[in-house]
Amino acid sequence: MMMKDKFRLTSILTVLMMVVGVLLPFAELSAQDQTDKTYVFATDTTFAPFEFQDAEGNFVGIDMDLLDAIAKDQGFDYEMRPLGFNAAVQALESGQVDAVIAGMSITDERKQVFDFSDAYFSAGVQFAVLENSEIADLEGLSGNTVAVKTGTSGADTANSLKEEYNFDVTQFEDSVNMYEDLQVGNAQAVIEDYPVMAYAAQTGGIDLRFIGEQMAVSDFGVAVQKGQNAELITMFNDGLNNIRLSGEYDEIVSNYLGEDSGASATTGVISLIQENGTTLLSGLWTTIWISVVSIVIAMILGITLGLLRTSDNRLLEGLAQIYIDIMRGVPMIVLAFFVYFGIPQITGLQFSAVIAGIITLSLNAAAYIAEIVRGGIQAVNTGQSEASRSLGLSRSQTMRHIILPQAFKIMIPSFINQFVITMKDTSILSVIGLVELTQTGRIIIARTYQSGAMWLIVGVMYILIITLLTRLSGNIEKKYIY
Ligand code: GLN
């Protein structure tokens, strides 16, 4: 009896220590985030010429270069998170980031929630169709579908006109998907900020023809939470003033919008790989290390939960069951949004996309690992346990020396399977702006408009790495376990 109690106490303590151990580094990291003076900016993933990745994987564009020049002029440090427009605005609302710079229009509605810097650019939105489309004007949109980007002034304008001109609206998270939808013919028109489409057409990636007039012309500004980071706004405004006077502002803008700006888009699988090889490999590396770290944490948590599921203690067993039900019931994308946007808003604790990604993946995988462990233990013949107990071994000794070694062998193929699933699930984390392999692909498409070739390359990369890793673990399994 005493032995049993001790076993229970140790398992409760172990679980507690693990939870604390897993969460502590995150808490420390977030504390660091708050104390050092690096401002965290969120931006769109792809909004060329304002923000996009060049072939070397650097974030460039009018917004990026202006901010860089202003930060140098004013002497502040910053860090950039390419989240996508809607996610960037959400991140600012929930206090995940200090500011948004993303070709963001200063509107009366947004001014209720955010404080804005002075205007650094001005543009309106316009509808466009493919060059060879039959649609000639806004009346021609009748009965057709217009692709928009969620949460943007383009989307607002389309929604306010859809009844008048009788068209449908489909929403996308980023400009890339919007243009892909147009190119494959699901949508017949798009609406977005004029300079962005003009740039896309100019760089030759996509043949667009504008219809109607520019509408909802507005100023672009940097946004911060209302009443927060006022010093950042002051520095931005002062710096903007200085670089306008020095001529640097004009230089930056004409770099992207001048006569000979904009490299022509690459086509073909080979040249895409040649040009973006290093960027793709760094995306792949992020995918690999995030999945490895997550699976290690998930194994610790999952094995503990799996053991609790098979324990005699009703309370612990029940708690483990509830955990598993919750994690299996919630879609991973919802969990990712909750960890990244929800928790900070509720608790004030902040995580970077990487930490939020690791938490999401490991919490989710732990539930499945727990079930693998329970299944493995239950698959060991009950005769084994009876025999061992009748030989005088205690319950925990039976577990450790008789059941677990046999169960572990049964579990291995399922563990490998779970690792593969977790690795593929990293792609979901692109929604919180984690630049892993899938997000890298999206960002490259934003510059090249080569979705067919790019998704093929990304798909093949996943297949290669996953096949390689499963073969490798299969060999290790044969060598050391059997
Ligand atoms: N200017 C538009 C807005 O503020 C679009 C911004 C964007 O898509 N990055 O809504």
Give percent of the chain above pLDDT 70: 90
Dihedral through CA 314, CA 316, CA 317, CA 323, nearest 10? 140
pLDDT tens column, 77-121: 999 988 889 989 999 998 889 999 999 999 999 999 999 999 999
Instruction: Report how far ligand 1's centroid is from the alpha carbon of 103 (Å).
Output: 5
Provide the residue type at 7 as one letter.
F
Cβ of 103 below 6 Å from ligand 1: yes
Closest CA to ligand 1's atom 5: 152
Mean residue pLDDT of the chain comes to 88
Residue 279 — left, alpha, or beta (φ > 0 → left; ψ -120 to 50 → alpha)?
Answer: alpha
Give SS3 for 79: strand
Alpha helices per DSSP H over 138-220: 153-165, 175-184, 194-202
What is the CA(154)–ligand 1 centre distance, in A? 7
Q: What's the whole-model pTM score? A: 0.73
Ligand 1 closest atom vs CA 175: 8
pLDDT in tens, 252-269: 999 998 766 555 556 788
How do residues 364-416 score in pLDDT, each as one tens digit? 999 999 999 999 999 988 888 888 888 888 888 898 899 999 999 889 989 99
Q: Is 47 in the pocket of ligand 1 (CB under 6 A)?
A: yes
Q: Does residue 359 sit in helix, strand or coil?
A: helix
pLDDT, tens digit (0-9, with 9 covering 90-100), for 452-482: 899 999 999 999 999 999 898 888 878 766 6
Ligand 1 nearest atom to the CA of residue 85, by list position: 9
* Predicted confidence (pLDDT) per residue in 156-207, tens digit: 999 999 999 999 999 988 888 888 889 888 999 999 999 999 988 887 678 8
> What does the pLDDT average to over 228-252?
96
Residue 265, pLDDT score: 58
Q: Tell me the CA–centroid distance for residue 466 and ligand 1, in Å.
A: 37
Judged against a pLDDT cut of 70, whether residue 8 lies above it is answered with no
Mean per-residue pLDDT, 213-237? 96
CB 175 within 8 A of CB 192: yes
Q: What is the CA radius of gyration of the chain?
A: 27
Cβ-contact 403, 433 below 8 angstroms = no
